[in-house]
């Protein structure tokens, strides 16, 4: 078996343990992406520490950006958005995965802001208007963090996903809202800018906005999900038992 096939096999396998970790399951049901500006309530430092610990436990690292770095991120994110908006293939891909809300995937209009939210770092432009009401607030209490690691290999990206999941679920449990910002790592030039923010000591995987969601208004509804049977192939489990 080639090294790549071994890796593919490793990426595809998961241990299924009946009745395990119900609290994670419950947190997953609560978790959702809320793209409105965050409230004026600061994120408790203890929550940031706990989220960072969860990421580290799964082999990732989280760098909290200081004020100057956030301003640099804001400019970089604006540039990444422009680059992506001008790329017809990327626009088509975004439209493909976001527009299929009736088919169990995608983003319904109700989860996308009705007008651009006042955020220090611009959110992704999905190329179509949403219907989620956005208040006049500005998310000045948002904390921006960069998920990163030592390597830029396929299995390190898989670990980054596990670290993201652990950090995101921990944040949800602590009442901290997370919005991932991936355009800045998708565009090579802006990813290099992020590397400089890390002083070259690692590879950026994803930028996260952390904050306390506006408690006065209902957030967006949950996005549709495919059923487990449509996304998990358990046939190998039967094969092993036999
Ligand atoms: C790796 C990754 C990157 C993402 N990048 C973005 C992004 O750049 N902008 C954004 O608004 N949402 C982003 N999302 C959020 C997804 O769009 C979101 O999970 C999806 O809308 C499903 O909604 P839910 O999180 O409410 O279940 C990203 C999610 C993941 C896992």
Q: Where are the domains of the chain?
A: 32-99+108-212
Looking at residue 202, what DSSP letter applies?
S
Q: Of 60, 25, 43, 45, which is closest to residue 209 (Cα–Cα)?
A: 43
Q: Is the pLDDT of residue 20 over 60?
A: no
pLDDT per residue over 70-87, tens digit each? Answer: 999 999 999 999 999 999
From 31, 33, 171, mutation site for ligand 1 pocket: most ligand atoms within 8 A of C-beta? 33
Q: Is the pLDDT of residue 6 over 60?
A: no
Mean pLDDT of 95-120: 87
Q: Which helix (H) or strand (E) is 208 found in, with range? A: strand 203-211
Ligand 1 contact, 123 CB (< 6 A): yes
The residue with greater pLDDT, 127 or 76, is 76
CA of 196 to the centre of ligand 1 (A): 24
> What is the predicted pLDDT for the residue at 174?
96
Are residues 182 and 194 in contact, defined by beta-carbon separation less than 8 angstroms? no
CA of 182 to the centre of ligand 1 (A): 8
CA of 179 to the centre of ligand 1 (A): 7
Q: Of 195, 147, 192, 186, which is closest to residue 168 (Cα–Cα)?
A: 147
Residue owning the nearest CA to atom 22 of ligand 1: 223
Atom of ligand 1 nearest to the CA of 126: 11
Atom of ligand 1 nearest to the CA of 183: 8
Mean pLDDT of 123-149: 91
> What is the predicted pLDDT for the residue at 242?
39
CA of 180 to the centre of ligand 1 (A): 6
Confidence of residue 17 (pLDDT cuts 50, 70, 90): low
Ligand 1 contact, 32 CB (< 6 A): yes
Is the domain defined by 32-99+108-212 classed in CATH 3.20.20.210?
no
What is the DSSP pairing of strand 61-64 with strand 143-149?
Answer: antiparallel
Are residues 84 and 186 in contact, defined by beta-carbon separation less than 8 angstroms? yes
């Amino acid at each position: 078996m080639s090294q790549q096939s071994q890796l593919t096999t490793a990426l595809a396998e998961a241990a299924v343990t009946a009745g395990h970790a119900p609290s994670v399951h419950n947190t997953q049901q609560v978790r959702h992406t809320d793209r409105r500006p965050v409230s004026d309530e600061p994120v408790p430092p203890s929550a940031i520490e706990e989220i960072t610990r969860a990421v580290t436990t799964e082999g990732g690292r989280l760098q909290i950006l200081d004020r100057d770095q956030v301003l640099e991120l804001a400019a970089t994110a604006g540039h990444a958005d422009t680059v992506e908006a001008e790329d017809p293939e990327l626009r088509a891909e975004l439209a493909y995965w976001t527009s299929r809300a009736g088919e169990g995937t995608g983003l319904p209009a109700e989860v996308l802001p009705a007008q651009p939210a006042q955020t220090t770092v611009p959110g992704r432009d999905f190329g179509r208007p949403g219907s989620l009401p956005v208040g006049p607030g500005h998310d000045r209490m948002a904390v921006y963090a960069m998920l990163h690691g030592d390597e830029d290999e396929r299995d390190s990206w898989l670990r980054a996903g596990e670290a993201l999941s652990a950090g995101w679920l921990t944040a949800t449990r602590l009442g901290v809202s997370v919005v991932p910002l991936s355009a800045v790592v998708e565009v090579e030039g802006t990813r290099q800018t992020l590397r400089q923010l890390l002083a070259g000591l690692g590879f950026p995987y994803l930028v996260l906005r952390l904050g306390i969601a506006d408690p006065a208004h209902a957030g967006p509804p949950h996005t549709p999900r495919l059923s487990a049977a449509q996304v998990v192939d358990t046939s190998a489990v039967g094969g092993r038992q036999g």
